[in-house]
Amino acid sequence: MFTSITNRSKFGATYEWAVLSTLPMNGDKTRHGLRATEVNKALGMPKEARTTVTLLLKRMASEGMVERYEYTVGKQRFITYKRVMPLRKRERIARMIWG
């Protein structure tokens, strides 16, 4: 049996917003998108959580929340993601304050 003080239904939405806050905006042409491993590193997640982030980003791409870009360099295939939705107001204010 799993016991926790965290409300699981609320944690899912918080995790999605945390992932979205790490991704650059789609309109920003100066920054490239982030791969799932880079999102993990930005959130301080362990390497084992890469599958969870990948599945979440795929779902968000199918729902239209993020844009998925696939490209190849040599023989390597890269998949990066950019955010379509703007950040919430309080996250914009926090970025202005803390950089």
The answer to whether position 3 is within a domain reads no
The answer to whether position 71 is within a domain reads yes
Residue 71 near residue 85, CB atoms below 8 Å = no
The answer to whether position 66 is within a domain reads yes
Among 99, 90, 95, 85, residue whose Cα is nearest residue 16? 85
> Number of folded domains in the chain?
1
Local confidence band at 13 (pLDDT 50, 70, 90 cut-offs):
low
| Single pTM value for the model | 0.71
The average pLDDT across 16-42 equals: 83
The one-letter code for the residue type at 76 is Q
The answer to whether position 16 is within a domain reads yes
The answer to whether position 5 is within a domain reads no
The answer to whether position 24 is within a domain reads yes
The answer to whether position 36 is within a domain reads yes
> What are the structure tokens assigned to 82, written together?
């950019």
| pLDDT of 9 | 53
The answer to whether position 4 is within a domain reads no
Give me Rg for the CA atoms of the chain.
Answer: 15
Q: How far apart are CA 18 and CA 8, in angstroms?
A: 15
Which H or E run includes 94?
Answer: helix 89-98
| pLDDT of 30 | 73
| pLDDT of 84 | 84
Q: What percent of the chain lies above the pLDDT cut of 90?
A: 15
CATH code at position 35: 1.10.10.10
Range(s) of the domain holding residue 53: 10-98
